[in-house]
Amino acid sequence: MSLAASTPVRVVFFLLAVAVLPACASSGPAAPDLDPRLLGVWADLDGATHTISLADEGYAVGVVDSDGEVFDVVSVIYADSTLTWTYDVPSTGYTVTYVTTSIRQDEITARWENQTGASGDEVLTRQE
């Protein structure tokens, strides 16, 4: 009789495992696969620093020019192993977007473009 009594209990546990547990595991958004090599302080050839840190749902980026001007970062997106950030330059009115094309431990290569259509490749080197 103990075998017969335990069979319904096993069925209930099986049903709970099949029906309830997958629903719990999939609740809420999945965290993106972040690349820890991006984290740090990076300098471009003109001396501007791009600081990449963790944020609630991905990355945060701060940009300061070599003369101390702080740029207003308006967008940061990490998708398909590519980090894209856009910032406004108060002194010129330019809006600049960077898109990473290569990520190494001590070097990031990014393609930049501004609203006038000017663009180029930039190498950022790790400072910290």
Q: What is the pLDDT of residue 57?
A: 81
Beta bridge partners of 43: 49, 125
Phi, then psi, of 69 in degrees rounded to 5: -70, 130
Element (H, E) at 3: helix 2-19
List the structure tokens of 117.
């259509």
Query: Is CATH 2.40.50.140 the classification given to domain 36-126?
Result: no
Q: What is the pLDDT of residue 32?
A: 55
Q: What is the pLDDT of residue 1?
A: 46
Q: What is the pLDDT of residue 98?
A: 98
HEC sequence for 74-96: EEEEEECCEEEEEEECCCCCCEE
Element (H, E) at 61: strand 58-64
Contacts of 44-48 spanning 24+ positions with Cβ under 8 A: 44/122, 44/123, 44/124, 45/122, 45/123
Counting as low any pLDDT under 50, the low residues of the chain are 1-5, 7-30
